[in-house]
Amino acid sequence: MSMENYCCSGTRVIGGETLNSPQSNPAHKDKRTGSQGENSVSGAASQPDDKISVLVADDEKMMLQLLSMSLQRLGYHVMTAENGLEAVELFDRHHFDLVLLDVLMPGMDGFTACAEIRKRSDIPVVMLTALSRPDDIVRGLEIGADNYIIKPFTFKEVEAKLRAILRRTNFQNNQYVFQIIERGDIRLNSELHQVTVSGAVVELTGTEFQLLHFLMTHSDQTVSKEELLEAVWGYDSTDGSNLVEVAISRLRKKIEKDPARPDRLLTVRGIGYRFSSARPLKPETTTAGHKLQPQSTLPAYRSSVTATESLDGEKIIAAY
């Protein structure tokens, strides 16, 4: 295990309150390419350098107008779309720091639009939805949305969640240092925004990358859901734990050999999670006809889980 920190004069840091644009933000990876640079969009229109740019998509014109006016009063640069396809087309032509997507839109819905945006970038996406069923909310989070707001809502709720996301992003920009962290067979490179498992590159969203980074820097320590909500999402415990549980589940699918029996991202019942720095156990082997039994290093798994615990994985370990 090793952890190395690299700082230099070329570190991408912005002082004050100005937020980095997506193409220079180390916390967010943009997969689009163009003639203006590796992460630029060909022909992208310019936007005010001192304003955070937000894309809002909603088929309800009154809602779209209210959201646009309210965000502009807060100093954001706002562009709007009335359906998912228009939102994706605007995203391809302009740079944004955050996206608000309504779920129920004609043609391309918000779920599909979010999936398309995730193919291009991992900037924050917040879903606006009248679908309050847990399955619908989980679906949006599993596609790659960072959060959701259920209609009807107050604009104060929208403002609070956007500020939390952007505050977290801006803090990470200002605190950014180049890091290479190795725990077991997982290597995280913050400069390249890259994670490898046993040498193979794993694609993570911005939130998943930040979640893994926090857990790896607190390896072998039990971290509560409330701590993760505050550190990764910038929210307090009143926002619930679904965000953490779904993100952990998605992360396990990407870094665990068997997400149902995780070796790295362990659930500590009633508390939270722990990242194990130990390398996963090798498969059992036989010698001279005798089966070798590996020593148990973890408490036994429970045979079942409760409904409130099922979002983050199939198996739970007891706290100790």
CATH 3.40.50.2300 domain span(s) along the chain: 18-174
Just give the CATH number of 178-309. Answer: 1.10.10.10
CATH 1.10.10.10 domain span(s) along the chain: 178-309
Give Cα 196 distance to the centre of its chain: 17
Alpha-helix runs per DSSP H in the chain:
61-73, 84-93, 110-120, 134-143, 155-174, 206-217, 225-228, 242-255
Q: Which of 168-172, 214-218, 277-281 is least confident?
A: 168-172
Q: Which of the two residues, 33 and 74, has the higher pLDDT score?
A: 74
Is residue 164 over pLDDT 60? yes
Cis preceding linkage at 152, omega within 30: yes
User: Under a CB-based contact definition with an 8 Å cutoff, are residues 219 and 183 in contact?
Assistant: yes
**pTM higher than 0.85:** no
Under 8 Å CB-to-CB from 94, ≥6 apart: which residues? 41, 44, 45, 47, 53, 55, 79
Just give the CATH number of 18-174. Answer: 3.40.50.2300
Mean of the per-residue pLDDT values for the chain?
74
Is residue 35 over pLDDT 70? no
Give the tens place of pLDDT for each residue, 106-115. Answer: 999 999 999 9
Give the tens place of pLDDT for each residue, 211-258. Answer: 999 999 999 999 998 888 888 877 665 555 678 888 899 899 999 999
